[in-house]
Amino acid sequence: MADVTPRLQKTGAAIAAIDSLASLAEIADRHHYVKPKVDEGDEVIIHDGRHPVLERMDLPERFVPNDTLLNTRDHQILMITGPNMAGKSTYLRQVALIISDGSDGEFCACQKRPGWVFVDRIFTRIGASDNIMRGRARSWWR
């Protein structure tokens, strides 16, 4: 039995990889995700980006897709402000998920083919105790 263990492990790893890729392909097809374009330019462009978890939830309000444009010239930083529960953290998470998934070769939750350069870091400051799945923001005054 010990002599077949390496072959069984290799076969198991191959089946796991196939299962993972098939699952990603099924989700991309079912939810109309698009293939990203990673190039040598200097822009991050996302059209009608969606949060892949929140858009699947049965919420009282429809999720509103968002655009993102960042580059090294005139759109180097985003300053996102607004009242509690307005979607600031959700937007940041959405952009990070789209870039991260696309950089891993996965299709992305947006309307048109997104494009960006290879991104190796995303810096944000998000309140860690927010629970967007339950619609709860952290209250700093309690």
Triad 3, 7, 105: Cα angle to 5°: 155
β-sheet with 43-49: strand ranges across: 37-38, 115-116, 43-49, 66-71
Helix segments in 5-140, DSSP class H: 5-30, 88-103
Q: pLDDT means per 10 residues in the chain (142 residues)?
A: 88 96 93 84 86 83 86 86 83 88 85 72 67 51 38
Give the span between the Cα atoms of 125 and 116, in whole angstroms.
Answer: 22
Query: 69 - beta bridge partners?
Result: 45
CATH of domain 33-142: 3.40.50.300
Question: Model confidence over 27-56: pLDDT tens digits?
Answer: 999 999 998 887 777 888 899 999 988 888
pTM score, whole prediction: 0.74
